[in-house]
Structure 1
Amino acid sequence: MRKIVIPSAGSYDVLRLEEHPDPTPGPGEVQIAVEAAGVNYADCVVRMGLYESAKKYVGWPITPGFEVAGTVAAVGEGVKDLKAGARVLAVTRFGGYASQVVVPRHQVFARPSRLKVEEAAAFPAVHLTAWYALHELVRLRPGMKILIHSAAGGVGSALIQIARLAGCFVVGVVGASHKVEAARQLGADVVIDKRSEPLWETAARHAPDGYDIVLDANGAETLRHSYKHLGPGGRLIVYGFHTMMPRRGGRPDYVKLAVDFVRTPRFSPLDLCNDNKSVLAFNLSYLFPRADLLKEAMDQLLGWVEEGKLTTPPLKTYPLAQVADAHRAIESGTTVGKLVLTV
């Protein structure tokens, strides 16, 4: 098998394409012949050595990658409902940048007929993130006002669509003019280009009484204002800290990290009670063992796909050998939708 191996933390030069023996499935596991693997910003954080669950569960060397699509190559003892050749997609707690992966059966799902293999590989991580934020952490009601940062990215694209399915009023925030139309096409009622108009003044104009939910993966740059613009009973949902990371060079700026760490707001329980607001946060990689949660989420998400209620965002593909180019692109902050490696 071919896979990308990172021997230690570093820039793009540490992404090495290597040959390794094929893995074999153990009891309750499925071996997948991978045709495509999704690229997520978290993969870059893994490469830089800053992703806590990667250090906890794997260490060095590591193969990044949270999501794949392909066909079943073999199954382990006890797996009765999948046969070799079945078209599937799966989530993996690392290891996805490879031509073969082995994962527990509960992390494997039938690929909907509407999804091409590249679209399937780009689907689970971002949609599970969006689903967990909007269907597990909160209860959506029609008419809720929701502000979504990074609305043209992978998670942002999924958040817009899931919120609109629930009848919510969605304000998406993007960082460049070429991203506005993508967010609008996905269903955002309002799109704010923060490079050409004042973000918070414009956001307040569309929700004078504050937002019911703000979804923020930016970190220190926006968290304080995101909290400030919540309405009574509003919830700030945090699932990343992208603005603390570099836009070029591939290595963290530790001075900036330290400054942003200090700038990151700390929310006092006393203030939360008095303000009548909540702050919620999560990391999807810690949730993969939850078979019940994955089944509930993916049943609903893939059902929406089959019904034509969810569409995939724009995709850009790279051959596995060009993984460094994919990492450069996603770190630049200029991409729209999802990036996918073809294997």
Structure 2
Amino acid sequence: MKEAPDPEPKAGEVRIRVEASGVNFADIMGRLGLYPDLPPIPVVPGYEVSGHIDAVGAGVAPNWAGRDVLAATRFGGYADTICVPINQVFARPPGMSALEAASIPINYFTAWQLIVVMGGLKANETVLIHSAGGGVGIAATQIAKHIGAQVIGTASAAKHAELRALGTDHLIDYRTEDFETRTREITNGRGVELILDAVGGESWKKGYRVLAPTGRLGIFGISAAVSGKERSLLGMLATLARAPWFQFNPLSLMNANKGVFGVNLGHMWGEIDRQRQWADQLLNLWTQGAIKPKVARTFPFAEAPQAHHFVQDRRNIGKVLLVT
């Protein structure tokens, strides 16, 4: 940590006094040197914050000053003060806490893109959600249940009781059970219409096999490449080598009536207007009580390393946040 002068908002920006910042697996991969989008070190990571606006730049309506907001940040979120373009800032609904607000941009936007925008999940279909206890997993479960779908989740056995209470219909202990076998048992051999997979490698291969006809595999990460607390290029290469490169060829997809798609919210900065539409729908669902972020734990900014270890050790059920 270090002190720096308060930034001044440029034209089209607002300055946010941060109350909470989200911790995401992309931050961990960046720290390990495995995330190519991260600018060269030294850099301040962080993709999402909540707080209140205390200054506005030229061209921004003065009435934004003083508002409680949440924002998507293109890095820089691990700070107590940040300037953000106004089109990446969203007013917090009345009653939404700073902790809930900081839990929404990455996890819920990603889940919405996976399930609704690209996954096309419908009522009475079945979705398999890997890492069901993570921030995206819980967000996706809530959205899927609102749609009327059945949810199968993978998580360690210690998390099962709480995840059932959060709405997951069937749970698979990925440490002791084969998710491909168990998914076929749960679905009576049919398979699932949608899979959300941020694991990668062998998991993609098995997931593709367990898709039902017209099923879609949504890929949004590669956590299997992070096998330890230090950077391992060999681990990344080994994970990539286990990916089903030949299964995903056009002829195979056509003949199997299956689809594979990828999601990386960090490459959607040119689509902010679309994301604002997603935000409107998500914040409306929050107002209705259909979605509710679950905060696993908060850490002071000075304990950011401990927050990273908490996530990487798979100890969280829900969102991990840094707080001022």
* TM-score in terms of structure 1 length: 0.90
Which residue of structure 2 aligns with residue 48 of structure 1?
32
Distance 1:40 1:304 in 2: 23
Shift of 1:42: 0.7
Which residue of structure 1 aligns with residue 180 of structure 2?
200
Which residue of structure 2 aligns with residue 37 of structure 1?
21
Which residue of structure 2 aligns with residue 255 of structure 1?
234
Alignment of 1:72-83 (within 5 A): 72-80=53-61, 82-83=63-64
Identity, in percent, stands at: 39
Distance 1:182 1:112 in 2: 27
Distance 1:46 1:116 in 2: 28
Alignment of 1:94-243 (within 5 A): 94-174=75-155, 176-207=156-187, 208-243=189-224
Distance 2:138 2:315 in 1: 15
Contact preservation (8 Å) 1:75, 1:82: no
Distance 1:196 1:259 in 2: 22
Which residue of structure 1 aligns with residue 320 of structure 2?
339
Are residues 1:264 and 2:243 paired?
Answer: yes
Kindly provide the CA deviation profile for residues 199-223 of structure 1, in whole angstroms up to 9, marking residues without a partner as x: 2221111222111101100011411
Quick one: which amino acid aligns to residue 90 of structure 1?
A
Contact preservation (8 Å) 1:36, 1:118: yes
Contact preservation (8 Å) 1:106, 1:294: no
Distance 1:313 1:221 in 2: 29
Shift of 1:51: 1.3
Kindly provide the CA deviation profile for residues 162-211 of structure 1, in whole angstroms up to 9, marking residues without a partner as x: 0111111111111x222112321221111112234342221111222111
In structure 2, list runs of 5 or more residues that go unmatched.
none
* TM-score in terms of structure 2 length: 0.95
Contact preservation (8 Å) 1:107, 1:288: no
Which residue of structure 2 aligns with residue 12 of structure 1?
none
Contact preservation (8 Å) 1:227, 1:236: yes
Contact preservation (8 Å) 1:246, 1:331: no
Runs of 4+ in 1 over 3 A off after TM superposition: none
Other structure's SS at 2:58 match: coil
Contact preservation (8 Å) 2:299, 2:322: yes
Distance 1:83 1:281 in 2: 35
Contact preservation (8 Å) 2:109, 2:279: yes
Which residue of structure 1 aligns with residue 2 of structure 2?
18
Distance 2:295 2:109 in 1: 18
Distance 1:141 1:336 in 2: 26
Distance 1:241 1:82 in 2: 42
Contact preservation (8 Å) 1:64, 1:97: yes
Kindly provide the CA deviation profile for residues 107-151 of structure 1, in whole angstroms up to 9, marking residues without a partner as x: 111112332212211221100000011121132221111111001
Which residue of structure 1 aligns with residue 11 of structure 2?
27
Quick one: which amino acid aligns to residue 50 of structure 2?
A
Shift of 1:81: 6.3
Shift of 1:253: 2.2
Contact preservation (8 Å) 1:43, 1:64: yes
Which residue of structure 2 aligns with residue 282 of structure 1?
263
Distance 1:141 1:257 in 2: 34
Distance 1:33 1:105 in 2: 14
Quick one: which amino acid aligns to residue 220 of structure 2?
Y
Of 235-244 and 329-338, more deviation after overlay is shown by 329-338
Other structure's SS at 1:46 match: helix
Query: In the superposition, relative to structure 1, how do residues 86 and 278 fare at CA in structure 2: closer, same or farther (>3 Å)?
Result: same
Distance 2:317 2:77 in 1: 22
Q: Residue 280 of structure 2 is aligned with which of 299, 302, 305?
A: 299
Distance 1:264 1:287 in 2: 24
Q: Residue 63 of structure 1 is aligned with which of 44, 50, 65?
A: 44
Contact preservation (8 Å) 1:305, 1:311: yes
In structure 1, list runs of 5 or more residues that go unmatched.
1-16
Distance 1:81 1:214 in 2: 44
Shift of 1:243: 1.3
Shift of 1:227: 0.4
Distance 1:187 1:328 in 2: 27
Quick one: which amino acid aligns to residue 32 of structure 1?
I
